[in-house]
Amino acid sequence: MDISTAVIAAPVIVVIVIFTVMRAVRIVPQARARNVERLGRFHRTLTPGLNLVIPYVDRVYPKIDLREQVVSFQPQPVITEDNLVVEIDTVLYFQVTDPRAAAYEIASYLQAVEQLTVTTLRNVVGSMDLESTLTSRDAINSQLRGVLDDATGKWGLRVNRVEIKAIDPPATIKDAMEKQMRAERDKRAAILGAEGHRQAQILTAEGDKQAAVLRAEGNRTAEILGAEGQAHAIDEVFQAVHRNDPDPKLLAYQYLQTLPKLAEGPGNTFFVIPSEVTAALRDVSQAFAGPQADSAAAGSRNGWPAT
């Protein structure tokens, strides 16, 4: 080998060495894994960090994500027990726990999980009617998770959660449900309105009752107080009359003072004068007539003619 050939071969050898070293060193990121085949057979799984392999003998496959993954499947038509077709949209949360099984036990674990979810969903919902399907999402999620976790365990997967995003019944069922909900709302509104009107009437009646009772109590108290005042006034007058011992002439004079007040009314055309007052008036007239009237009165009492 001459010098020119050696000069040309040296860089090539350096490049080959560098390329070989690069293929021998593999760095795996955190939460990732890579399967290695040696001469066509599974050899080991590379863990996160720096790993060394044998170039041209070991074959390193693409990274497998070990983090929890979220897969949203397209809405699937499902027939319920009462023969209604509903569209169900699901979301699956799973995690790869065994990279070797995920790569060698199933060709495409994502497609397998999707098909298994659809099949399990149809089996679970097919045994339920529409009303149970709409109101039992938690039960459906639990059944789906249990079945999927058992089935995907051999594929190196762990199903953490299964959530139903939406359940869409047919358009005719939606219209019927909306009408039913509207009727229920109108019914509740009518009931609440009737209850409010009834309560208002009860409160109004209670208020009127209390007001009437209070007015009656007030009128009774006023009448009692008026009667007590009148009785007290009469008693005071009676005590004053008996205490002063007035003669009939004074009583007659007081009666004469009262007569004009009795005549003030337009219908007062007839008066009843007690006999005691008549006798008192006669005494008053005799007092004003003087001694002549007294002698005449005495003569009349003795049967003599008046002069």
Structure tokens at 12: 């090539």
Query: Percent helix, strand and coil across the chain, each rounded to 5?
Result: 60, 20, 20
Structure tokens at 192: 């609440």
Predicted TM-score of the model (pTM): 0.54
- The rounded distance, in Å, linking the Cα atoms of 86 and 168 is 5
The residue extents of the domains of the chain are 3-64, 69-169, 172-245, 246-302
| Helix 137-152 vs helix 109-125: crossing angle, to nearest 10 | 140
**H-helix or E-strand spanning residue 159:** strand 157-168
- The rounded distance, in Å, linking the Cα atoms of 268 and 287 is 30
Task: Provide the residue-wise pLDDT of the chain in tens; the chain has 307 residues.
Answer: 456 666 677 777 888 888 888 889 999 999 999 999 999 899 999 999 999 999 989 999 999 999 999 998 888 888 888 888 899 999 999 999 999 999 999 999 889 998 998 899 989 888 888 888 888 888 888 888 888 988 899 999 999 998 988 888 888 877 877 788 888 888 888 898 888 888 888 988 888 888 888 888 888 888 888 888 877 877 776 676 666 666 665 666 666 666 666 566 565 565 555 565 566 556 656 655 554 444 444 444 444 444 4
Task: Using alpha carbons, select from 129, 96, 89, 122 the residue that is nearest to residue 110.
Answer: 96
Fold of 69-169: Tetrahydropterin Synthase; Chain A (3.30.479)
Going by DSSP bridges, is the β-strand pair 49-52/69-72 parallel, antiparallel, or unpaired? Answer: unpaired
